[in-house]
Amino acid sequence: GAFVQEQLRVASGTLAGLAATAALRFDWIAHDIVDASPDDPGKATGRAAFSSWVPAAGLSWAFASRWLASASYAGGFRAPAFLELTCADATSPCIGLQSGVAPDTSLGSLRPVRARSLEAGVSASPLDDLTLTATAFRIDLHDDIFAVTLPSTTRVVFQNVGDTRRQ
């Protein structure tokens, strides 16, 4: 990965205490999987690679002595993990997560999870050793990945299940 960030602060005038931050990160991950199982070696051998540009931006303002307001936006990216990739095919599911991986040769059927988060808050320090903070946040995930048990079995597959939210 690579990361770049810049921050601008206003030191004097009406907007003194205002700061803006912008960042951009590039993430790249590859899973090189070599199946050395004794039963059918090479069946689950493959490569899956994922990449994404991930932005972030924020504002903070120390608008009065001991008071700070802030707001931010950030993207997020999570590539499927090794176990998720090798247990993502319903025709070749995992018997159970404790049993290990299944011979899933697709290795690319899952999409990475993408996140968009917003956060805003205010902090106050009425005493030297005390800070009070109130913050609200919302994270929307796209293509979230969950373990799904196939009907009437203990077999598990990982699937992209669509959009989820935390707030």
Q: How far apart (Å, rounded) are the C-alpha atoms in residues 82 and 73?
A: 29
Confidence of residue 136 (pLDDT cuts 50, 70, 90): very high
pLDDT the model gives residue 101: 54
pLDDT the model gives residue 100: 54
Confidence of residue 161 (pLDDT cuts 50, 70, 90): very high
Residue 114 has pLDDT above 80, yes or no: yes
Which of residues 156 and 28 earns the better pLDDT score? Answer: 28
Mean pLDDT for the chain?
87
Residue 35 has pLDDT above 70, yes or no: yes
Cβ atoms of 114 and 142 within 8 Å: the answer is: yes
Choose among 1, 49, 47, 43: nearest CA to 24: 1
Give the range with max mean pLDDT: 38-47, 79-88, 108-117.
Answer: 108-117
pTM of the model: 0.78
Choose among 148, 46, 47: nearest CA to 88: 148
Confidence of residue 104 (pLDDT cuts 50, 70, 90): low
Residue 69 has pLDDT above 90, yes or no: yes
pLDDT mean over 133-160: 90
Which of residues 89 and 126 earns the better pLDDT score? Answer: 126
Residue 99 has pLDDT above 70, yes or no: no
Query: Left (φ > 0), alpha (ψ -120 to 50) or beta: where does 44 sit?
Result: alpha
